[in-house]
Amino acid sequence: MNCKEHAPEGGLRQIFQNSNAEKDVDETETVLHNLVSLLLTNTTIRSDADNTAEQNKFFKN
């Protein structure tokens, strides 16, 4: 059943026709993907920095 066909004029029909929901979902997915990528990159950089710091301590002693 298609909501657009069964919704009364105005109301839901207008909301569905004027909605950019699909575009919003795509943009949200892109933002979330970029955020996760950034967090993973940051975690990797910190991990590498921690490993380097540990190695430097080991070699200094």
Regarding predicted confidence, which is higher, 52 or 60?
Answer: 52
For 3-54, write each residue's pLDDT tens digit: 555 555 556 556 666 666 767 777 888 888 989 888 888 777 777 778 787 7
Cβ-proximal residues to 12 (8 Å cutoff; 6+ apart), any chain: 3
d(CA 50, CA 43): 10
Domain ranges of the chain: 21-61
pTM for the model: 0.43
